[in-house]
């Protein structure tokens, strides 16, 4: 049995699995599929239009229509005030067991693998794909059309601009492998010490 708060707004093309808990002031626009044992906290918006534009021959911005929806797997938790945008030609996908923190922005056609942990105030830009068991620290930005491997850890406040291979831990702005990040930080500290 699922519990949907009376203040939740659901469009007709939303399919809800079993044992789903949806708190107040949630908006879910279809097409959208929610798996089983999903929890959605207050203020979440699922299925919002992605912000994707192209310029026409006159140089004016024309919006790309997003019709493909959102697919959310089983045992997913989405915390307060997160927005998940629907895809244009293929759905935005949140894999089984993934947990998404508050105030995140998951944009159009992002694909998040299984058992990921996406912490608060993270933005993942359009068409990026994350593997399984990816950890993303708070206040991180992941660029568009990237491929993030399995078992990747992205440290707090990183700016990811390039693909990341399986098993790497990265940090920084722009993000780089953790050992390189530590070396560069130490070098910068020495340089600053020398100027004082």
- Residues with catalytic annotation? 108
User: d(Cα 24, Cα 148) in Å, to the nearest integer?
Assistant: 33
Answer left, alpha or beta for residue 25, where phi above 0 means left and psi between -120 and 50 means alpha: left
Q: What pairs with residue 95 in β-bridges?
A: none
User: How many other C-beta atoms are found inside a 10 Å radius of the C-beta of residue 6?
Assistant: 5
Q: Collapsing DSSP states into helix, strand and coil, what is residue 179?
A: helix
List Cβ neighbours of 159 (8 Å cut-off, separation of 6 or more): 140, 141, 143, 172, 173, 174, 175
């Amino acid at each position: 049995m699922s519990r949907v708060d009376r203040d939740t707004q659901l469009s007709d093309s939303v399919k809800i699995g079993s044992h789903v808990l949806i708190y107040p002031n949630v908006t879910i626009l279809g097409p959208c599929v929610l798996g089983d044992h999903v929890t959605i906290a207050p203020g979440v918006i699922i299925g919002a239009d992605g912000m994707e534009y192209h310029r026409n021959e006159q140089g004016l911005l024309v919006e790309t229509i997003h019709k493909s929806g959102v697919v959310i797997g089983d045992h997913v938790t989405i915390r307060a005030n997160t927005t998940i945008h629907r895809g244009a030609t293929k759905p935005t996908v949140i894999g089984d067991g993934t947990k998404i923190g508050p105030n995140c922005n998951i944009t159009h056609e992002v694909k998040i693998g299984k058992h990921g942990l996406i912490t608060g105030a993270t933005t993942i830009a359009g068409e990026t794909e994350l593997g399984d068991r990816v950890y993303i620290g708070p206040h991180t930005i992941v660029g568009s059309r990237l491929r993030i491997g399995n078992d990747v850890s992205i440290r707090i406040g990183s700016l990811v601009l390039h693909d990341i291979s399986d098993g790497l831990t990265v940090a920084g702005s722009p993000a780089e492998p953790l050992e390189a990040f530590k070396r560069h930080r130490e070098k910068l500290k020495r340089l600053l010490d020398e100027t004082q």
